[in-house]
Amino acid sequence: MELTLWTYEGPPHVGAMRIASSMKDIHYVLHAPQGDTYADLLFTMIERRGQRPPVTYTTFQARDLGGDTAELVKKNIKEAVERFKPKTLLVGESCTAELIQDQPGALAKGMGFDMPIVNLELPAYSKKENWGASETFYQLTRTLLKEKVSYSEKISPLRWKEFGRRPKVNILGPSLLGFRCRDDVIEIQRILSEQGIDTNVVAPLGASPDDIERLIDAEINISLYPEIAEASCEWLKRNFGMEYTNTIPIGIKNTIEFINEVHKKLDLPLTNKKELENKSKLPWYSKSVDSNYLTGKRVFIFGDGTHAIAAAKIAKEELGFEVVGLGTYSREMARQVRATAKDLNVEALITNNYLEVEDAMKKAAPELVLGTQMERHSAKRLGIPCSVISTPMHVQDVPARYSPQMGWEGANVIFDDWVHPLMMGLEEHLIDMFKHDFEFVDGHQSHLGHTATNTKDILNSDEKKEKNSKEGIIWTESGRAELIKVPFFVRGKVKTNTEKYAILRGIPEISDETLYDAKAYFS
């Protein structure tokens, strides 16, 4: 039993709903009690969907349990098929139905329908949402393509040359309730098209079962979101020999790397290599003098595996930040996140407990947090600017405007979204110059930042703490006066470090000089 106050991921059947709702001509019969329909509002409210998810809930009740719940399942399947006429039927169960073992998938298969039926067995007591989405997409792909395995030749990534046409790829993994998938797909298709590569199928987002059957018309697969697509890509590779890409095109370096990887796999010459550097404004914006102020900004990153790893790389290599924390809630991606963290010399935080994340955030004393909607709440409480880079997300993370994370435009969006919550470069410089003027309001931040009241609270609590500091350390007048001069957003860190230094050296009273000694010691 695990005490959970809030969870980053829903149960695995919500992952299955994400696949079903992303696609056309599919219906999902879910053996589930009343209440599980709450999942509909994730789609209709967060994504502002104008259609209900294509899901029928069998809605069994306690009084049904003594009787024949299997009959109830069959009745709902029959009605759903008659009403919605899906081309493929998904059948599965939520956590409670798993316990009563009606085996709805087997029941459906015995009802004599001629459409393909995918029996989803998603263990609700050990797996979570992203796994459920991945498994559903995999089972669907397998069901619709398995008959073609035996008579299909291995697909060579070079066969487009023989066919005398442009190479074709599939873009796999984008789904509803994924982070900015809608716009990433447009961006990646545009980039591929510019390189002379056609998109065969995008799935699951917007695909129908017919499209899934056409996957093998492409030469290779783009695994755009490995959390959802990798299992399917791996199956297609094993059974049809289709190669798939590993690079996630988030950030300039990875987008270029991605284009390289695709060209290499297809044996397509890359003729515009030099141009690629200039496709996004990020490299120049990052190099321009205003961005000097971004150098070494301390950033704390937490999210799904794909987005957290990408963010760490961009933060360090493309914006010149210092990554002071990196983690993920996705156990499936723990290994990769750990490897990235090791390269960055930080310890990876792998947890599903948001309070642990908040504690780590507090200790790392970052100047910017990149996280999920929950880290936005935590950062707000701590008075730290934050940008959301990953699911789970809130309605405001599904913007009306085009705002991908991937490709050239994605890099532009990332530059803006991460830098705007910070104080603007020259503004920070000016504030530093004028901060002793009486008109100056301490805690002033950029218009997108947080309010000054937070800072006052920190100040007050600083003072309180200073009076009865642990280990009997006292802040003298001069020490306190100097501490107040430190910009508010690093004040907490300076205070902790100075106290740490004082304890280390056995200094009972912290003066202005102690503060400078500590600064030198830790720099």
25, 40, 198, 290: the catalytic one is: 290
- 383 lies in the binding site for other proteins (CB under 8 A): no
Distance CA 302, CA 463 (A): 31
Contact flags string 389-428 toward other proteins, x per CB under 8 A? -----x----------------------------------
Distance CA 253, CA 186 (A): 19
Q: Which secondary structure element, helix H or strand E, spans residue 201, and what is its range?
A: strand 198-203
Closest approach of other proteins to the CB of residue 58, in Å = 7
Closest approach of other proteins to the CB of residue 206, in Å = 17
Backbone angles phi, psi at 387, to 5 degrees: -130, 140
Closest approach of other proteins to the CB of residue 34, in Å = 4
CA distances (Å), 498 to each of 277, 458, 478, in order?
43, 17, 14
In sequence order, what DSSP letters do the residues of 205-254 get, joined into one string?
Answer: TT--HHHHHTGGGSSEEEES-HHHHHHHHHHHHHHH--EE-----BSHHH
Count of beta carbons in the 10 Å neighbourhood of residue 277: 11
Stretch of residues binding other proteins (CB under 8 A), selected from 47-55, 196-204, 248-256, 512-520: 47-55
Half-sphere exposure of 437 (CA within 13 A, CB side): 9
Record the tokens describing residue 427, joined without a space: 């503004």
- 440 lies in the binding site for other proteins (CB under 8 A): no
- 33 lies in the binding site for other proteins (CB under 8 A): yes
Contact flags string 77-116 toward other proteins, x per CB under 8 A? --x---x----------xxx--xx----------------
Kindly tell me which residue out of 145, 155, 256, 374 binds other proteins, with binding defined by CB under 8 A.
374
- 37 lies in the binding site for other proteins (CB under 8 A): yes
Residue whose CB is less far from other proteins, 83 or 154 = 83
Record the tokens describing residue 263, joined without a space: 């060209």
Stretch of residues binding other proteins (CB under 8 A), selected from 5-13, 168-176, 195-203, 426-434: 5-13
Distance CA 138, CA 154 (A): 19
Kindly tell me which residue out of 39, 188, 266, 502 binds other proteins, with binding defined by CB under 8 A.
39
Contact flags string 347-366 toward other proteins, x per CB under 8 A? --------x-----------
- 461 lies in the binding site for other proteins (CB under 8 A): no
Of 404, 413, 412, nearest to 186 (Cα)? 404
- 18 lies in the binding site for other proteins (CB under 8 A): no
Kindly tell me which residue out of 17, 20, 42, 248 binds other proteins, with binding defined by CB under 8 A.
42
Distance CA 379, CA 314 (A): 20
Instruction: Judge contact between 370 and 298, C-beta under 8 A.
Output: no
Rg, Å, the chain Cα set: 27
Contact flags string 176-195 toward other proteins, x per CB under 8 A? --------------------
Closest approach of other proteins to the CB of residue 134, in Å = 16
Length of the chain counted residue by residue: 523
- Find the helix packing angle between 305-313 and 252-266, rounded to 10°: 110
343 is catalytic: no
Catalytic residue set: 290
- Could you list the residues that contact other proteins (CB under 8 A)? 1-7, 9-11, 13-14, 33-42, 44-45, 48-52, 56-62, 65, 76, 79, 83, 94-96, 99-100, 123-126, 128, 355, 373-374, 377, 381, 394
